[in-house]
Amino acid sequence: MILKPVIYAFPTALSVPDETFAKAMINNAVRPIKSSPVEIYENKDIHKLAKDS
């Protein structure tokens, strides 16, 4: 895959691995409920949520 070096060097730039995405969504599910029913996350936000475990 041509993009592997880019993904390795800049993990938040293009894609999010499945495991990271799953961790982020689980962490988001157990957080206190916000007033907005819909939340949109960018790649950097997903990586931050995944680290909040």
Query: How many whole angstroms separate alpha carbon 16 and alpha carbon 25?
Result: 12
Q: Which residue has the tokens 């691995």?
A: 17
Q: What is the pTM of this model?
A: 0.66
CA separation, residue 38 to residues 3, 7, 16, 33, 41 (Å)? 31, 28, 20, 11, 10
Containing domain of residue 23, as a range?
4-51
Q: How many domains, in total, are found in the chain?
A: 1
Dump pLDDT digits (tens) for 8-38: 677 666 778 889 899 999 998 888 887 788 8
The answer to whether 17 and 42 are in contact (CB under 8 A) is no
pLDDT for 2: 73
